Chains A and B, each alone.
Chain A
């Protein structure tokens, strides 16, 4: 999409948003998308301060969140989730490759898929569209649009276009996906592709474990990167505490790598305030063609999120290195985000 068109769309959506202050999923036009539907407008603004480089980066986002269940006379047919978002960057030093530069505006897709559920009452569904690549903790926890992220940076892709089979059985849950490997847009440059999946114990229990795999060529700013991973994740919920960990081993561009992540989270009893502490560790070969020498990096991250009763949330987090290298710098970064859903 041309930059000017995207900007027009961005300001158009925002204008509609502000001149219609009382429209939302429960107002008189709540059936705008037909029966069994929900919809909401989601907007946020984020500032990220690099404390070493003393620079500020901004990201402004506005989008639509639609959820609709299609039903037949005796059973549901499928669920449509549709989340187009317009993202405006401002002064971002390392912009994701879908943006032309650090001041660009683009239409992005968070989740946009149809999950066909009429085959076996939730035991075997077929999903088509843009969805989260199933792997590890990210698959279980909704981190779309939040400051809090888990291990997605380890794989270089969060959501992708493709097809999956998924389902819930009494003793386990699963999703197995074949996707394009290009992320936000469907692109065939260098033939990217991903085959990934996760099989885990029931996610509603207080102890949840899963195994995942991820193999394929992931498209980035410099072409495709070959990635292979196998991972294990575990979560434990105890009253107001949540403990999670993920460990994975594999290869990135032929270099062996392993990654470990752990998080402890506490929520107040009304669950409108949460604080979390994350620790990440990565060890990888520098260049397997030259030697088997490895290098390791690690960080800690602390965050807080406050959810109001009227649909907005304020969150902040701070990331700091434990160990970095000349080639992989981890700058101290403070981020603050204000988000509203209506």
Chain B
């Protein structure tokens, strides 16, 4: 038997047990929350537009991500940009999850959870602020109109970029921004998701 055999067998003899590890993680998350050392808490939520990743700092909701963005990649980016103190800790996101559930079942028209805007800056952030404040449930606005609202009517492409890099989709409603020619336009969660959201809001 070679050294490789022994080490491979050793790794097998001390196996990963995902359930057990999850339990330990949950306990750690509770302790970290209590001690104020949990910088980013996250959970996932199954919705009609797929599984969403929700992440919150102590200031508020900081990230909503579609599955198409790859949740592992998003978590790594959060660790790099905010803090590696990232843990699965659903309790910090209870309110957000409830409000999203209500939204997707047509029982909620706006979100009133605190938002942490730190992943968005400059003109993009101005655009997103206007989306959140000025385009109500069930309404849409064109990219040109949003550029105007944000104070720079020529920056139509930049509005598109702001929407495409929205760190808080669904909650900050970039899905309500459509093309001037009546086309639905792109969406970071996929055009199908955008259509689903607009249909949902039109029906209510």
Co-complex (A, B): no
